C-alpha cells in the first residue's frame, strides 16, 4: 500500500534527495525500536486528499516506518476531525479489509490493521492549546505504518512499535 510516494520496503536511495535527518536531540527523545534506525522528515504526503506531515523510519537502507500526521497549519476542529477520521478509516478499511483491533481512548478510537507485510495504526487525539491557556483544543490524526520485514522471526510487531507523536 502506498502513502503518497512512500511504501514499506521502499529502497531509501530512491527518495533520499528530498529528506532531512531528524536532529540528534529530537532522535534521542524518541522511542527506538532498533539501534540502527534513522528517522527523516519527508515532504508532505497527500493521502485521502489531505496533506500530511510525514516522517519515515529507515533500517537496512529500506523504509520500515511511515508516520503521517495532520500538519500544524491545518487546524482541525472536532467536526472536521470526525469527517477526516471517517474518510481515512474508510480508505484504510477498504484497502486492508476489516480492522484487526479497535479500542476506545477517551472520546476517540485507536484502530489497528495487522497485515502480512506489517501493521497500520490510525489514532486521533485532542491537544490542549497551551498558548491561549484555554479549553480550546486542536485535533491531531496520526497514521503510522510499520513494516514486518524489519523484525526477525522471534520478535512480533506489537502496538507499541509506532511513533505516538511525530518528531
165 in a domain, yes or no? no
87-to-17, 94, 163 alpha-carbon distances in Å: 31, 11, 22
79 in a domain, yes or no? yes
Structural domain span for residue 44: 2-150
For the record, the C-alpha cell of 82 comes out as: 470526525
166 in a domain, yes or no? no
Number of compact structural domains in the chain: 1
10 in a domain, yes or no? yes
| Residue in 91, 93, 26, 22 with CA at minimum distance from that of residue 58 | 22
102 in a domain, yes or no? yes
DSSP string, 76-134: --HHHHHHHHHHHHHHHHHHH-S-SEEEEETTEEEEEEE-SSEEEEEEEEEEE-TTTTS
29 in a domain, yes or no? yes
Maximal CA-CA distance, the chain: 49
For each of the chain's 167 residues, which pLDDT tens digit applies? 899 889 999 998 888 665 666 655 455 555 667 778 888 888 889 999 888 999 999 998 899 999 999 866 666 666 677 888 999 999 999 999 889 999 988 878 899 999 989 999 999 877 655 555 444 456 788 999 999 888 764 344 443 443 443 43
3-to-30, 69, 79, 143, 144 alpha-carbon distances in Å: 22, 12, 24, 10, 10
Predicted local confidence at residue 155, as pLDDT: 45
105 in a domain, yes or no? yes
115 in a domain, yes or no? yes
Amino acid at each position: 500500500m502506498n502513502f503518497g510516494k512512500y511504501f514499506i520496503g521502499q529502497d531509501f536511495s530512491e527518495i533520499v534527495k528530498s529528506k532531512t535527518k531528524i536532529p540528534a536531540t529530537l532522535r534521542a527523545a524518541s522511542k527506538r525500536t532498533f539501534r540502527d534506525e534513522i528517522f527523516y522528515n519527508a515532504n508532505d504526503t497527500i493521502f485521502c486528499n489531505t496533506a500530511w506531515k510525514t516522517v519515515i523510519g529507515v533500517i537496512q537502507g529500506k523504509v520500515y516506518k511511515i508516520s503521517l500526521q495532520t500538519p500544524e497549519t491545518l487546524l482541525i476542529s472536532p467536526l472536521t476531525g470526525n469527517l477526516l477520521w471517517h474518510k481515512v478509516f474508510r480508505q484504510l478499511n477498504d484497502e486492508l479489509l476489516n480492522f484487526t483491533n479497535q479500542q476506545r481512548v477517551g472520546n476517540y478510537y485507536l484502530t489497528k490493521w495487522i497485515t502480512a507485510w506489517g501493521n497500520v495504526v490510525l489514532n486521533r487525539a485532542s491537544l490542549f492549546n497551551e498558548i491561549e491557556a484555554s479549553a480550546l483544543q486542536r485535533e491531531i490524526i496520526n497514521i503510522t505504518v510499520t513494516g514486518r520485514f524489519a523484525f526477525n522471526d522471534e520478535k512480533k510487531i506489537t502496538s507499541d512499535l509506532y511513533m505516538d507523536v511525530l518528531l
